[in-house]
Amino acid sequence: MHKKTFFSFIPAAILCVGLLTGNCQNKNANKNQRDKEGFTSIFDGKTLKGWEGDPKYWRVEEGALVGEITPTTLLKTNSFIIWRGGTPADFEFKGSFKITTDGNTGINYRSEQLTDIPFALKGYQADIDGKIRYTGQNYEERGRTTLAYRGEIVTVNTQENAENPESFRANVKNNAWQARQVTGSLGKSDSLQTLIKSNDWNDFHIVVKGNRLQHYVNGVLMSDVTDKDTVNRKMSGLLGVQVHVGPPMKVQYRNLRIKQL
């Protein structure tokens, strides 16, 4: 019979050099914080810890971050719940969303918070809606409006006469930035739409590196923006998710995790 030693009674996960040096606990803690791809969870599924928003519209329910508008809580301006863990510059952001048919939401990043409107963000947005008209596109909230529609590869340029404040407004027409150039296609918008599920869970993946912004839904690239507008673009900022002005709606987010590059 094999003779057991003292260490054979200790779980293998504990056996490391840190048993003697005191580093084992720290290594385990880091392992718990990051998954195998290097992503860190930013929503615990139980509380709103690390997030700030109007509790009238945001809560946690069955492991999901829930934004809801009811007939008695209709909005006058879009409202966000904002992650207070930093102002990411280059990063990848993953998670899942589910939205009701009449819902309208979005994931804002590299954004700034307005001071005159509660929980309002200005900046890039991965657009999401229940009718799947806009889901996947790149929309700049309170800014240059649509930068890329679903299926587009776009280079965004600075407007002419950028030093003139009026030139900004002149470059926004039909809810789209005119100083943008479509340089390629990812597929027809209608075809890509069929890959997004209605009233069900969809996975999103946002990849932001330098001035390139990519929005994926269910593993498929939906829009690809290279922002060369050095006057209006932002290179870092806040992260948050939105409930939009409109009819009663409900949106759920879960498994939110980030990898800063």
Report the first-to-last Cα separation within the chain, whole angstroms: 53
Query: What are the CA-CA distances from residue 248 to residues 61, 68, 98, 133, 202 (Å)?
Result: 18, 7, 15, 18, 21
Bigger pLDDT: 27 vs 65: 65
Q: Is the pLDDT of residue 20 over 80?
A: no
Q: Is the pLDDT of residue 104 over 50?
A: yes
Digit-coded pLDDT (tens) for 183-237: 999 999 999 999 999 999 999 999 999 999 999 999 999 999 999 999 999 999 9
Domain ranges across the chain: 40-260
Helices (H) and strands (E) in the chain, counts: 4, 19
Kindly report the number of other CB atoms within 10 A of residue 105's CB atom.
Answer: 26
Superfamily (CATH H level) for 40-260:
Exo-inulinase; domain 1 (2.60.120.560)
Query: Long-range contacts: 168-172, Cβ < 8 Å, 24+?
Result: 168/232, 171/144, 172/144, 172/145
**Mean pLDDT, rounded, for 29-36:** 65
**Mean pLDDT, rounded, for 5-32:** 41
Dist CA 70 CA 203 (whole Å): 26
pTM: 0.87
Digit-coded pLDDT (tens) for 56-84: 999 999 999 999 999 999 999 999 999 99
Residues near 25 by beta carbon (within 8 Å), at least 6 away in sequence: 18
Q: Is the pLDDT of residue 19 over 80?
A: no
